[in-house]
Structure 1
Amino acid sequence: MAGRGLHHVTLISSDAERSCRFYACLLGMRLVKRTVSHEDPGTFHLCFGDEVGRPGTLFTLFPWQRVPRGRRGACEAWQTAFRIPLGALDWWKRRFQEADVPCGIGWTGFGEPCLMFEDPDGAMLALVEAAAPVAPEPRNRSDVPAAYAIQGLHDLVLKVRLADPLSELFREILDFNEIGRRGQLVRLAAHDQPGGTITLDEAGLLPRGQLGAGSIHHVAIRARDALDQDSLVRALHDRYGIVATESKDRIYYRSVNFRSTCGLLLELATDGPGFDIDENSERLGMSLKLPPSLEERRGELELLLPSLPLPTSRRHESEEIT
């Protein structure tokens, strides 16, 4: 790993089935894990990514059924951009038009061609054309051709009151480098692979937002392993006095949470062990996976959780998964 970069981004949605169809059917991302929130097991934790859910390709959801929309504010992620191959924008624009999803072609703050749109909960999203460092893989159960497929996270725009303090934390502790400034924008990069880039958008005295549907719940940064995670926690405390949570076993990675110097909720997530630890790679996302501590409640949780079909294409074909 040349640099840490993003491990995953977690969004709050208001409808598990609708969100699953949007991200898996329309966008062609693979549902690589269907599990629950460890702290709130009556809520799904749905994980989308590339074929095996590599760090940097992961976009995950907490579907808080029927929760009101959030209100955007200071020190939170406002827009998630996904990387697509060069020349793919027109294909995606036609696809969105056929699906009656409003979109518009434009440019990022750093001059990259992009297609801007929103998910059903109003989350701000974009597809950005970028030279692919690796060849795209075919996506199981998706009708998106590999030549146009989403390759992972491209950029995450964080709206902050002041950019420099958070930029320092990302540079000094999390191995990012500043690679550009334009107006109020500061771009940081850890590497050129998916998930390598973050943009800070300095907004001044912007009020705080309110979490809800369409809000980014937290942003996870990669740690190589548990030892690396421990060293990052010590560095955060020694330099900034930040006290992180204890390391928690999330089965597919270990996580530590902390608030940044501006209040942004961040997570340090280890690269492993990965999403295939309890499922064959061909069956990823096909069945509900629970932490061992919750297995005795499986019957109760299956009744409590909303039904979730596994989408197979943008034509909304589906089959039930259990």
Structure 2
Amino acid sequence: MIHWRDAMAGRGLHHVTLISSDAERSWRFYACLLGLRLVKRTVSHQDPGTFHLCLGDETGRPGTLFTLFPWQRVQRGRRGACEAWQTSFRIPSGSLDWWTRRLGAANVRHQAGRTAFGESCLTFDDPDGAMLVLVEAALPAQPTAWHHPEVPASYTLQGLHDLVLKVREADPLGELFRDVLGFSEIGRSGKLVRFAAHDGPGGTITLDESSRLARGQLGAGSIHHAAFRARDAADQDVLVQALHDRYGIVATEPKDRIYYRSVNFRSTCGILLEIATDGPGFEVDESFETLGTSLRLPPNLEARRGELQRLLPSLPTSGI
């Protein structure tokens, strides 16, 4: 396993995208309560009447990104097999008690305990029922140039820790993670199989084998897709070719998402996955200081700005 301080290797999780039912409520939960920084407010390329809200560390680095599609009035999803199931975030060692008090003060039901792999954790749901976990990481808090007004730097979320995918069989998808996406198996616990690409943010994936569980139904609280990292466009092309050559998987044509280049594909069990490049990043159209404070649109949608601003729900202008 590669140590993230040495390279990060352009591997691991790039981002996780969740469906929510209310933009402002989700913003208040993830940005105001959990302390993630809103680094970009833009729109879905497929559905421009829907926000795409991107949250993460101070600049939204790959491995820290958690993004939202707030589909207004969507029904709550139903959890099941063949979907991404649960998102974990890293918190600094020794900060679990602080987060227990903070969630309790916000009337968020939570449960302290340990993961199946022995890590101290705090489990809870977001307002739409998305399953979340805060996991104490062995590494200390990282220095940051941006500070949340209520979450001290010593307790700040340190990026994604793990993503659990519920599958009928772990081996086929596990092979794809190993052969193509740069992961190695690092542990098993019951029907859980854990893989890691490195020990930094976004470095871990867990497969949960549930052969009898019915398929889930996409909706509020469901993970829409998970994206994996590629160093650049050339590296992405190599990964796409490997998917085709080794598994017969045909990915979409590359799409310029302004902040990264994207391709999508369905895994061997039907889960929607993405490969996204590390760059160019979120500072291509906003300064560090103003990240996430104004609506940014792709060039092909700029002429519709007035129309889209009327369609989109209101959202505070703060870039928290």
Query: In the alignment, which residue of structure 2 is the partner of 1:62?
Result: 69
Give the deviation of 1:261 after TM superposition: 0.5
Answering whether residue 243 of structure 2 is matched by residue 236 of structure 1, we say yes
2:294 matches 1:287: yes
Distance 1:254 1:91 in 2: 38
Q: Does 1:13 align with 2:32?
A: no
**2:291–2:319 contact (8 Å) kept in structure 1:** no
Moved more, 171-180 or 203-212: 203-212
Is 1:123 the counterpart of 2:130? The answer is: yes
For the residues of structure 2 that align with 1:48 and 1:301, how far apart are their CA atoms?
A: 21
Aligned to 2:5: none
Q: Aligned residue for 2:163?
A: 156
Match of 1:269, SS state, is: strand
Alignment partner for residue 168 of structure 1, among 168, 175, 183? 175
Shift in Å, 1:2: 2.7
Matching of residues 157-196 of structure 1 within 5 Å:
157-196=164-203
- TM-score of the two chains, using structure 1 as the length reference: 0.95
Give me the whole-angstrom Cα distance separating, in 1, the residues matched to 2:91 and 2:233. 32
Shift of 1:312: 7.5
Cα displacement string for residues 209-259 of structure 1 (whole angstroms, at most 9, x for unaligned residues): 110000000000001101111111111001111011000000000000000
Q: Does 1:309 align with 2:316?
A: yes
The aligned counterpart of 1:205 is: 212
Q: Counterparts of 2:141 and 2:198 in 1: how far apart (Å)?
A: 13
Alignment of 1:40-119 (within 5 A): 40-119=47-126
In the alignment, the residues of structure 2 paired with residue 124 and residue 139 of structure 1 have an alpha-carbon distance, to the nearest angstrom, of 27
Structure 2 unaligned regions, length at least 5: 1-7
Q: Which amino acid aligns with 1:267?
A: E
The 1:17–1:156 alpha-carbon spacing in structure 2 relative to 1, beyond 3 Å, is same
CA distance in 2, matches of 1:15, 1:141: 22
Moved more, 141-150 or 165-174: 141-150
Aligned to 2:274: 267
Mean CA deviation greater in 139-148 or 92-101: 139-148
Aligned Cα root-mean-square deviation (Å)? 1.2
2:21/2:128 contact within 8 Å kept = yes
Number of the residue aligned with 1:320: none
CA contact (8 A) 2:92 2:141 kept: no
Partner SS state of residue 194, structure 1 = coil
1:254-307: CA deviation from partner (whole Å, max 9, x where unpaired): 000000111110000000000000000100000000000000000000011000
Q: In 1, are the aligned partners of 2:37 and 2:319 still within 8 Å (CA)?
A: no
Structure 1 gap ranges (5+): 314-322
Q: Does 1:250 align with 2:280?
A: no
Report if the CA contact (8 A) 2:169-2:209 is conserved.
Answer: yes
Secondary structure, in 3 states, of the residue corresponding to 2:58? coil
Distance 1:56 1:66 in 2: 30
CA distance in 1, matches of 2:20, 2:178: 31
Q: Report the number of matched residues.
A: 313
Q: Structure 1, residues 10-56: CA drift from partner, whole Å, max 9, x if none?
A: 00000000000000000000000000000100000000000000000
CA distance in 1, matches of 2:317, 2:63: 23
Does residue 1:36 correspond to 2:43, yes or no? yes
Indicate how the Cα distance of structure 1 residues 139 and 211 shifts in structure 2: closer, same or farther if over 3 A, else same: same
| 1:57-105 CA-partner distances (Å, limit 9, x unpaired) | 0000000011000001111111100000011010000001111111110
Please say which of residues 69-78 and 251-260 is displaced more in the overlay: 69-78
The answer for the alignment partner of 1:316 in structure 2 is none
8 Å CA contact 2:36, 2:157 repeated in 1:
yes
Tell me the TM-score normalised to structure 2 length.
0.96
